[in-house]
Structures are given as C-alpha cells and as structure tokens.
A and B are shown apart, each in its own frame.
Chain A
Amino acid sequence: MELLRIATAGSVDDGKSTLIGRLLFDSKAIYDDVLDSAERHSRKQSSEYFNLALLTDGLRAEREQGITIDVAYRYFATPKRKFILADTPGHVQYTRNMVTGASTADVALVIVDARHGVVEQSRRHAVIAALLGIRHVVVCINKMDLVGYSEEVFRPIQSDLHALLQELEIESHHFIPISALQGDNVVEHSEHMPWYDEGPLLPYLEQLVLPDLTHDKPFRFPVQYVIRPLSNEFHDYRGYAGTIASGTVKVGQEIAVMPSGATTIVTAIESPQGEVSSASEKEAVTIRIADNLDISRGAMLSSATERPRTDNTIDATICWMGEKTSLKPGAMLRIKHTTHTARVMVNSLQCKIDINQISVTGSCEELRLNEIGQVTLRSSEPLVYDDYAGSRGTGSFILIDETTNDTVAAGMIGRPKFLG
C-alpha cells in the first residue's frame, strides 16, 4: 500500500480534533507520556471526560485558548499503512490553511456535524478539495450519538453532499456516520448503527486504493540541480538531478529539453538505490543525457512527443494568502513554479470565485486574504507548464512578495472545470 496523505477539514466545534485524537489514540500512535500530559491538562481544565482534542493541539497558546493555529502534521501507522495527516483549523485563516494542507494530500477528510448538516463551511471544504485536485473525499458525519444514531438524519446529509460533490466533479467519495467522542465507526464497528454496514473509517482508509491518475501522463522532469563532481574520478560527469513531476522515463528514450526544445537521448538514470533502467512520478533521480546541451536549474526535461506549453502569459486560479496586502492588477511579484523563479506582473484580475455558491462573481478590483480568483500573469521569462488539472507538479506555483519575502499566493494554472 502506498503512503496515504490526508487533509482534514472541519468547522469550529464539529469534533475534528477529537476524531484525529481518536485515530491516534486507537491506532496506538500516542505514547503514554504524551497521553499523561494531555490527561493532566484535561484535569486542569476540569473537563468531565478525557479531552482527546488535547492530543493534537500543539502549542501552549492553543491549549490555553482551546483553538488550533495553522496546519499541524500528524503521523500514524497501522500494520497496513502509514498515514500523514495535515490537520487544518476551522476558523478565520481557514481557506489559506485548507489550501496549504490540501496541496500535498491525496484524500480529503471532511467532517460534518450531524446536527447541523451541510453548512457553508462544508461547501467551502468540498470546493477547495476540488480546486486543489484532491483525488478522493471521505465525509465523516460526526456526532451521530447526539442525533440518536439515526439513519433518518444521516441519509439526507449524505444525499446533499453527494449532489455537491457531483457538481464539483469529484467522482470518488465515501460517507461514514461516526461519533468521534464515543468511538463509533472510527476504528471499531459501531453497535449503535446496525443500518450502516460499510465499515468504520480506519479500516476503510487502510484499504483505500486511489484512482490512478498517473497512468499515461507524459514525462515531466524539472531540473533542480546540475551535479558536476569536478573530480578526477568523475571528470566528465554531468547529471541532472530532480524529482519526476509526472510520467515515466527510460534509458534510451528520446526527450526534449524545454524551453529550448532541443532533443537528446537518456543515457543513464541514477536512483537512490543505484542505476535503474526506468523511473516514474515522485522519484528523486539523476538523469544523464547523450548530448552536451546547455541545461541549468529551471529547465525541464520532457517527453519529446508530448511537450509542455511554453509561454510568458498564463491564466491561473489563485488563492491570496497575504495578510498585510491584497492583490491588485499591475502588481509585481516573484513566482516560483517548479524549480524556476521569475518575476510576474498581474495583467488582469478577471473575477473572484464565490466558493460558497460555486460561481464566479464577475470582475473585481482586488483579492484579499483567503479570497480565490482568476488572474492573468505575465512573466519576465517563459514558463514551461501544464494545466494544474492534468499535472499538479507542473501546474502549481507560489507567489512571493518581493519586499517581505512572504508567500502570498498559491496558484493553479488553468481554470477549474466545474466553473464552466
């Protein structure tokens, strides 16, 4: 089983931290001393029950105020699989954090309070998952203990969300009624909900096979670093180091060097385990080629037959993350896209996306913190890219403020399909 990267999302008080605490606790990922310290703190707060959320709230400020700052990463493993969980809080900075957490995730775990059903936040989570190209969504309808474990409560929420996910073109999804607090359907099957026979959450995640999106993708390899040992032993050695963004590469294959477009042949592929005859997506390798071409960091090696696009002007969806500034047409920023850094000018800001309505709100003057919009950017150097929908690795970028060096936006090249 591959390592599973999950992003969790939930509104304030819908029990997300409790659910994660439960997963860590029941999968024995929590050591006794950590448990003791959480218990001590529960007593300090004079909670009636042991507060599972305290297992996940990391910083003192959070424990005191009972809030969660920022994105936290959790690790747990069962005999079947290792999980990396990006846990994002459900308050003000919400969109920014959810986008961050979702950017590295394969699966989104959306938590809905059974008493409230689909609220604005739930819609927001689903839309961000769709925007970020999450492959699979698992919806936990939580606090079933507070609605009498009733199937009549569960089914309408399920069908509302099902319709929403359809609209967002997320075809791969699953629904589970749970009580994180009581442990129903988290690790163990719930005796309280005999009407639900699709199994609890953890076993579901353990056996989950994601839709294979890497199949048949063209080869893309942003060059990170040129290895030149300059030693007697490796006098003429020149290797291009990087991580394969998509597709597969084989020794003997003809490839193109972008943006120049020159072609050459792969003569060797070196993996961390030594020389190999082929390598695929996400592998960190060093590639050597037949010709002596001018290739440096920021160039891209690609399939010779299916090449990426090369242009100075791109359309993209961006989520603005700057706290002190907003995005306005004419702004000048740094872009970091694959291993390439350049300057960009915001040519135009076409529209804001209302993620609650899943619609476009027309033209707008600026994008503020946590707002999502469609922009056209003009770059100082040609960008070599694909649409984000087809290739996360070559379709994503960040924008950096040139004065503060802050990361102020996450960008996805192209336009999400569900917006039409």
Chain B
Amino acid sequence: MNSPDLTSEALLTSSQLRALEAESIHIIREVVAEFERPGLLFSGGKDSIVMLHLAVKALRPAKLPFPIIHVDTGHNFPEAIEYRDRTVQNLRIDLVIGSVPDALESGRVQASTLPGASRNRLQTPVLLDTIRDGKFDAVFGGARRDEERARAKERVYSFRDEFGQWDPKNQRPELWNIYNGFTNTGQHIRVFPLSNWTELDIWQYILEEGIELPSIYFAHEREVFERDGMLMAYSEFLKPENGEKVFTEKVRFRTVGDMTITGAVKSDATTLEQVIAEIAVARVSERGASRADDRTAESAMEDRKLEGYF
C-alpha cells in the first residue's frame, strides 16, 4: 500500500500504531473477561468501525460474544445504515437498536420545537433506556480523548451511576493497565478503548489495515446548503430556511452522525491517502468542523456528558 506523501506532518510509524492497537485489544479483552453483558456502541462512523475491527481481532477466531448497539435518531445517512447492516451480517453478530423515533412516538421523549434543536439530546434518554433494558453492564464507546476538552479527563473505564451520569470530580484513579470494573446493580461502565488515539491515528490505521468505510467519508457530489458557516446535507430531515440556497458541492464528511447536525467539508479526496493528506494539514478540529451540537455553548459536551451522553 502506498503511504501518503507527507513530509512535514505527524504520521505515526507502524510500531507506534501497533502500540495503540495492543493497548486497545488489552482493554477489550479485559472487559469481555470481567463483565456479564457488554455491548458495543456502533454508529457506522469511522471510530466505531475501528473499535469493532479491534474487538474482532481481540477475540478471534471466536465470534464476537456481544451485540452492537445503535442509537438511531431516525436521521441517518443511508450509507451508514447500509454499512451497519452489512457488517452485522458478515460478522454474524446481534444488533440492538435504541430508536429515537420509537421513543418520540411512545412519548418517552419530546422533540424540542426550538430553532436549531436536533435529536442529539434525545439520544441520551434513549441510550440509557437501551442500556437498562438490555441489562448491559459495560458499554464500549469509540470516543477519543483528543476530540474535545471534557473528554481529555475521561477514564478508559468511565463509571456511570444509576442515572447514567458521569461525575468528573469523582472518578476512579486509573493506574497502569489495571482497570477497576466493579459496579453495583443498575450502574455500568462506559469503556473507551480508543482513548489514546487521535483522529489522524485512526485514519492511518484504517489505511494500514485496509478497513472499508461508508462512502460518505470520501469526496462525492452532494446537494448542500450553508448554515452557520457549515455545509449541511440537503435531505428530507433538513431543508434550507430563510433564503439559504441549495447548491451542489464536492464534499466528504469527517464524522458520521445525525444528518441534521453533521456538516460536510469541501474536498477532492477520493482515496484514503488523500483524506489523510487533507486531515494532516487541517486547521479546524473534527468536532468544530462538523458538529453543530458542540457549537451551542463552550461547555456543550461537558453538559451532555454529565447527563449520560456518550
């Protein structure tokens, strides 16, 4: 495989990537050995895809002994859902869906009518219900500490109380590679095996391992419109307002989330090598570029995490 031609940027050597891989595999095995009922949060985004890839490696040749969990806002990129369903079939694993549309219909959650509101916040109660109903005692998440400031303080094993809440001032110290997964009934642990990876490390690993991604990660022509400086995909879920104009642009997505809050970036990168080359020189963070949900307040992520968000 050709490596991208980058002279000045920070790509890892293969041995550095292998060190991160070994650490993640250690964490995944520890959870499978110690917990009764783990589950893996899977969005069809690149981080959860890498996490699943690592889980398969950690336990092979055995089949994955736990299900993947998708918290579905109903506003999905069809490409991500197609990828999810194909993955479930290939790996012969179980899929648990926590459905926001179902929760809206049953009245479990109410949609906000405020302008700028998305279904992002509604994911939290649905996720917590799914964890409780499925009796999951450990839930793998693909969050990385480099993503956002509040995440830099998160443990690999992040303890959640009966309400699913994270208490940053009262976290268990985490020493060496010895993780404390003891919980009482109703409590659970969120486990972040990719804690020490950066966005660039993830991309490089995808390249080195030849991992397939949903097509929306690569440049393609799409109908978009500009909102708050971000390019939003035109879809049945999100339409332009107040004179916002729809136009066709060559774009790709840096993250895959709810269609109504995930912004696209202009790009000509149609191969992994080209995507890595673009990211290596990008000057705006992944969340800043493509997540409208983190822009609402300086501490938006911190507030959502306290409530039990992933």
Contacts and interface: CB of A to CB of B under 8 A. Distances in A.
Interface of A: 1-3, 27, 31-34, 37, 40-41, 56-61, 69-79, 81-82, 84, 96-97, 99-100, 103-104, 224-225, 227-231, 233-234, 237, 241-243, 272, 282-284, 297, 321, 334, 336-339, 392-393, 396-398, 400, 405-407, 410
12 contacts: A31-B288, A41-B298, A73-B196, A79-B9, A99-B175, A100-B175, A272-B21, A284-B21, A284-B22, A284-B26, A337-B178, A400-B182
B302 A59 contact: yes
Given A31-B284, A33-B284, A272 B18 contact: yes
A285 to B, nearest CB: 9
Nearest to B179: A336
A225 B8 contact: no
A97 B171 CA distance: 11
B55 to A, nearest CB: 12
Interface of B: 7-13, 15-16, 18-23, 25-26, 29-30, 32-33, 57-63, 145-146, 149-153, 168-169, 171-178, 180, 182-184, 195-196, 198, 200-201, 282-285, 288-289, 298-299, 302
B178 A241 contact: no
B11 to A, nearest CB: 8
Ordered nearest first, which 3 A-B pairs have the shortest CB separation?
A: A33-B288, A77-B10, A58-B149
Given A59-B150, A73-B195, A397-B178, A407 B29 contact: no
B175 A410 contact: yes
Contact of A282 (B8, B22, B62, B149): B22
Given A58-B152, A58-B153, A297 B63 contact: no
Nearest to A244: B22
B198 A75 contact: yes
Contact of B12 (A57, A77, A228, A398): A77
B199 to A, nearest CB: 10
Nearest to B183: A405
Contacts of B57: 272
A405 B184 contact: yes
A103 B176 contact: yes
B61 A229 contact: yes
Given A73-B145, A398-B175, A224 B33 contact: yes
B196 A58 contact: no
B32 A225 contact: yes
Given A3-B12, A59-B150, A69-B153, 5 more contacts: A73-B195, A75-B146, A79-B8, A234-B61, A398-B175
Nearest to A392: B176
B61 A104 contact: no
B173 A243 contact: no
B168 A339 contact: no
Contacts of A230: 62
B3 to A, nearest CB: 13
B10 A60 contact: no
Given A3-B19, A69-B153, A282-B19, A336 B173 contact: no
A31 B294 CA distance: 15
B175 A69 contact: no
Nearest to A33: B288
Contacts of B30: 224, 339
A243 B22 contact: yes
B281 to A, nearest CB: 9
A99 B174 CA distance: 10
A333 B3 CA distance: 51
Among B19, B59, B168, B176, chain A packs the most CB atoms within 10 A around the CB of: B176
Contacts of A241: 29, 58-59
Contact of B149 (A59, A70, A231): A59
A360 to B, nearest CB: 23
A243 B284 contact: no
A56 B146 CA distance: 11
A400 B180 contact: yes
A72 to B, nearest CB: 4
Given A33-B285, A82-B10, A229-B63, A2 B19 contact: yes
Contacts of B32: 225
A103 B149 contact: no
A82 B19 CA distance: 11
Contacts of B25: 243, 272, 284
Contact of A407 (B153, B175, B196, B302): B175
Most A C-beta atoms less than 10 A away, residue of B30, B32, B180, B198: B180
A200 B309 CA distance: 42
B302 A60 contact: yes
A75 B145 contact: yes
Contacts of A297: 33
A407 B173 contact: yes
A307 B57 CA distance: 30
Contacts of B13: 1
Contacts of B180: 336, 398, 400, 405, 407
A59 B153 contact: yes
Contacts of A233: 61
Contacts of A82: 10, 12, 16, 198, 201
Given A79-B9, A406-B172, A32 B16 contact: no
Contacts of A59: 149-150, 153, 168, 299, 302
